[in-house]
Amino acid sequence: MVMTMNDSNTSDLAAPPRTADEGSRVVRAGFIPLVDASVLIATAEFGFAEREGIKLDLVKDVSWANVRDRLAFGQFDVAHMLSPMPVASMLGLGSNPSPTITPFSLGRGGNAITLSTRLFERMTATAGLSETAGALENARALAMVIKDMKARGETVPTLAMTYPFSSHNYEFRYWLAAGGIDPECDVKLVVVPPPLTSDALAAGAIDGFCVGAPWNMVASERGVGRIVAAKQDIWPSAPEKVLGMRPDWTESHTETVSRLVVALDAAARWCDRVENHDALAAALADPRYIAAPVQIIRHVLAGEFNLDAKGNRRVIDDYFRFHGGFANYPRPSQALWIYSQMVRWGQAEMSPANARAAASAYRPDLYRTALGGASGPPDADIRIEGDKDGDRFMDGHVFDPAHLADYVSGFAVRSIRPATPGTEDA
């Protein structure tokens, strides 16, 4: 297949030596229909896998628990996963924890928080919120509304995320807590599958949600929701989805893993280029993939947000980062940040052994093996996060992985229930 790539990096076209027999190079990959599966879909759809001698079979699934189990049972070789899933698996959290690692992040961005238009109107009325209020102001306004609701004996809002071990869960909680809302007792957090969020909001079953693209925009364009925060407002560097795989499969397929990472890297560069977004949007909109209107996907890729149906718009630079800024590098300090949030919300215990297990889920060594030693970022794998302009946490906290316990106890709002030893499987 002829590639339409302007990449100067063509010297790596020489076929790598076939060192060991790893069986067929058919790789079965599970995915959930979301825009952040773009790199994986582009790898299969635009010839990047083929160029590396891999046939990438994409299998659409409906739930993260299914993706996790089917990867564990060998029905999938690799899978599009939430960035906390490999971390949870290495910590033995969740129903069927099976070791999972990632050599490659599928990019950053894509999430947002949407509240029902009714709730947002109440926030505007109660807090005198302007139409251009930022993420933190919105969170504080919601805190005022919730206080009012509690005083009147009303039921607190029901808010949805996608999975207990999801970026959405931690980002939603981060945003709420930054506004002074305790996610454990000031709201009711539930799980709703992404494609159902917009309908659930319209039906009044939930009052808000945090989910990946394009579902926020789907709700705002329908006029049922108002986008109040994007992932970039909460922490721009937060990893979103990763490519998960079993450690044993990784070890027995080193050549395939390397080729796959090379293919994904090329696809990620391609996805970042604006001139490819029309082709990408068309592919993603296909019923085999996301099955959503191509126009919405095209806007999402451009970071053009219709915050509501009234015409309030916002453009977020790098709403999706598929490659730039080392977005694909599986940085262990980010795995540790995820772990810090698991401890913060009572999902995991604080211990040095757990911290080591969490960091081991992200495998920059495999990334560098495939793409060359100089492919990664120049700074340390475990670094201080959120201490630079343009990459700060919304509440101004700085994450130093060397002081995990202090970081967690430094949050005014955190879970009061400590994780019970040995019962993390609940």
Binding site for other proteins (CB under 8 A): 62-66, 69-70, 72-75, 94-96, 98, 162-164, 190-193, 195-196, 205, 347, 420-423, 425-426
Q: How far apart are CA 53 and CA 251, in angstroms?
A: 19
Q: 52 by DSSP, 3-state: which?
A: coil
Q: Is the omega angle on the peptide bond into residue 214 within 30 degrees of 0, that is, cis?
A: yes
Closer Cβ to other proteins, 16 or 74, answer by number: 74
How near is the Cβ of 215 to other proteins at its closest, in Å?
A: 13
Q: How far apart are CA 410 and CA 415, in angstroms?
A: 12
- For 292, list phi and psi in degrees, rounded to 5: -130, 160
Q: How far apart are CA 45 and CA 4, in angstroms?
A: 13
Closer Cβ to other proteins, 101 or 129, answer by number: 101
Tokens of 52: 């590396």
How near is the Cβ of 88 to other proteins at its closest, in Å?
A: 10
How near is the Cβ of 70 to other proteins at its closest, in Å?
A: 8
How near is the Cβ of 164 to other proteins at its closest, in Å?
A: 4
Burial class (CB in 10 A: 0-12, 13-18, 19+), 17: exposed
How near is the Cβ of 194 to other proteins at its closest, in Å?
A: 8
Helix (H) or strand (E) holding 101: strand 101-105
How near is the Cβ of 81 to other proteins at its closest, in Å?
A: 13
Closer Cβ to other proteins, 161 or 238, answer by number: 161
Closer Cβ to other proteins, 84 or 332, answer by number: 84
Instruction: Spell 308-340 as b/e; 16+ CB within 10 A means b.
Output: beeeeeeebebbbbbbeebbbbbbbbbbbbbbb
Closer Cβ to other proteins, 203 or 402, answer by number: 203
- For 172, list phi and psi in degrees, rounded to 5: -60, -50
Distant-in-sequence, close-in-space partners of 417: CB < 8 Å, separation ≥ 6? 184, 346
Closer Cβ to other proteins, 60 or 147, answer by number: 60
Determine the Cα angle at 252 with ends 251 and 257, to 5°. 70
Distant-in-sequence, close-in-space partners of 133: CB < 8 Å, separation ≥ 6? 141
How near is the Cβ of 319 to other proteins at its closest, in Å?
A: 24
Q: How far apart are CA 261 and CA 245, in angstroms?
A: 12
Closer Cβ to other proteins, 70 or 118, answer by number: 70
Closer Cβ to other proteins, 70 or 383, answer by number: 70
